[in-house]
Amino acid sequence: MECVVFKGVYLRVYMGADELKASVAPDENRREGCMGADAFKPLCKIACNYCESNLRFISGNRPDLLKDINDLIDDTYDLTPATAASDPNSLFTFALMDLVQPLANYALHSVLDCAPYSTIFSMRLVIESLAAGLYADRWFGNVRLEERLRLARSFEMGRFRRCGEGRGEDFALCSQYESLSNRVNEALGWLRDRLSSFLGTGTEPMDVIYETYNSLSKLIHAVAMIDGKDVLGALGIIAADYVLSKDGFPPMRTIVMPVECDENDLVLLDVIHSELLFTRLSMDMLIYAWGVVTKSMSSEELEKAKAKIEETLKRIDEVVRN
């Protein structure tokens, strides 16, 4: 059974492989509905054609990718705490509902456009926005939402690493980041052994969250060094694309506009799949940690978040390690 989910104003579809193929067969009447003004009709028609073609291609070659995007989307809704309705001043729940949920849906949209470079930006922002919300709710929890946002304006993910290494940051500011890191690690202490078995000994939960963010950041830099030798980043990806291209034109991984997927794109789709799973893990860990640190989630909600984390670790084991 294939599963593609658009929550809220989106469409939810459960179907088998044959039904899926039939559902994306060309339909001129349906395609007319996605067209805009006359001047843009050709562009809209191309985008619709690519989406239909790419759904067939990805469903046939990487069906689990669509399922795991669906699970990421589900988590953003299923783990929204009940206090979100009663606490309008939480920057964390504001980020979760008004930014993370749309971004998760957009990840599916960009993958079906076969332009998942946009997905990288989205996943990075998912982690950073929730971390910023956790930071603001922890340290500025006695003020209104607008003031929390103002006070968190200098938030930087990089400080979690730089402050931990004592690299010349403001002492008072670093004490906030270090204290929050410790609280996150304590809240997720039950997970430490599981993470170590996956990623190596001595792995702290906050380190996993930061390294996932950092891995996504390297993909969107112009140039980034990986493991001290390999060049990645946007320019490195473009250079590799030209080498792989059969016709002298790089495949989708260098652009963000809709194109038609082919076999050359499977490598980056696999990268997206791996990063997606670690993004889901980091997101669920941040939600659980926020619930513990701010005491804003019930024991039932925390248990649900814990189950989602364990489910994601199992998927990482199945997809990434295997």
**CA distance linking residue 104 with residue 123, whole number of Å:** 8
**CA distance linking residue 90 with residue 129, whole number of Å:** 13
Whether pLDDT at 149 is above 90: yes
Q: What are 223-271's pLDDT values in tens digits?
A: 766 555 566 677 777 777 677 666 665 555 555 677 788 887 888 889 8
Does 301 fall in a domain?
yes
Does 30 fall in a domain?
no
pTM of the predicted structure, to 2 decimals: 0.83
Is residue 37 helix, strand or coil? Answer: coil
Using alpha carbons, select from 158, 208, 242, 231 the residue that is nearest to residue 312.
208
Structure tokens at 122: 């989205």
What residue has token string 């059969």? Answer: 246
- pLDDT level of residue 21 (50, 70, 90 thresholds): very low
**CA distance linking residue 116 with residue 183, whole number of Å:** 34
Does 277 fall in a domain?
yes
Does 40 fall in a domain?
no
Domain tally, the chain: 1
Does 288 fall in a domain?
yes
Q: What are 56-91's pLDDT values in tens digits?
A: 999 999 999 999 999 999 999 999 999 998 889 999
Structural domain that includes position 219: 65-321
Whether pLDDT at 212 is above 80: yes
pLDDT value of position 244: 67
Does 115 fall in a domain?
yes
Does 80 fall in a domain?
yes
Q: Among 190-194, 275-279, 281-285, where is mean pLDDT lowest? A: 190-194
Q: What is the mean pLDDT of the chain?
A: 82
β-pair partners for 2: 15
Note the helical H segments in 221-293.
Answer: 233-244, 266-293
Q: What percent of the chain has pLDDT over 70?
A: 79
Q: What are 162-195's pLDDT values in tens digits?
A: 887 877 678 888 999 999 999 999 999 999 988 8
Does 143 fall in a domain?
yes
